[in-house]
Amino acid sequence: MNIILASTSPYRRQLLSRLRLAFTCADPAVDESDLAGESPPDRACRLARQKAQAVSSAAGQSATIVIGADQVACLDDQILHKPGSIDGAVSQLRACSGKKIQFWTAVSVQCHATRAHFQQLVPCEVVLRALTSAETERYVALDDPLDCAGSFKWESLGITLFESMHTADPTALEGLPLIALCDLLRQVGVSLPLAAQARQH
């Protein structure tokens, strides 16, 4: 069994490692530009599917199963992109202080042999508590969330910023919903948990 994660994200790689599967990672090199009129959930689904398909096509026969994922974060009608800088992260958190952020995380599984494609979309709602300027600046300095949409790492110190979180799958907030992924993998014949001899050592 050959499994490829169509992502270079260290967060997704770490999450997939929890399933104890042997896998490799590949850069899908997909254009992630916004499409006019596309809704956030549709954007997440489109990009997850395109990532899986791009890596599956590039890998050819060596690709048995390819996993693609994408996440879109929204504050009201505005998409929150990765801040990329300290000032950007502080500004994003200040804008989100005391408000609800909606995350849409899609995961796609492409089976090369059968050309079958399966996908799920998992929503997650996060409400941040009212943050002071000092708290915001201190958090960004400590947790360095510059590559995270929403400018926080909930699996780390970012949880201190939360008032609440509502989702069927908490791992969706990190970018790879494992409950949904396990269901999709079972649909393409991967029985989890794997027998010991099939696991990654």
Q: Is the separation of the CB atoms in 150 and 80 below 8 Å?
A: yes
Distances (CA, A) of 30 to 110, 152, 161, 173: 16, 25, 32, 21
Active site residue 87: no
Query: Which of 163, 190, 158, 193 shows the shortest CA–CA distance to 173?
Result: 158
Residue 95 burial (10 A CB sphere; 0-12, 13-18, 19+): middle
Rounded CA gap, 152 and 137, in Å? 12
Give the active site residue among 70, 143, 144, 147.
70
3-state secondary structure of 51: helix
Q: How far apart are the first and last CA of the chain?
A: 15
Catalytic residues: 70
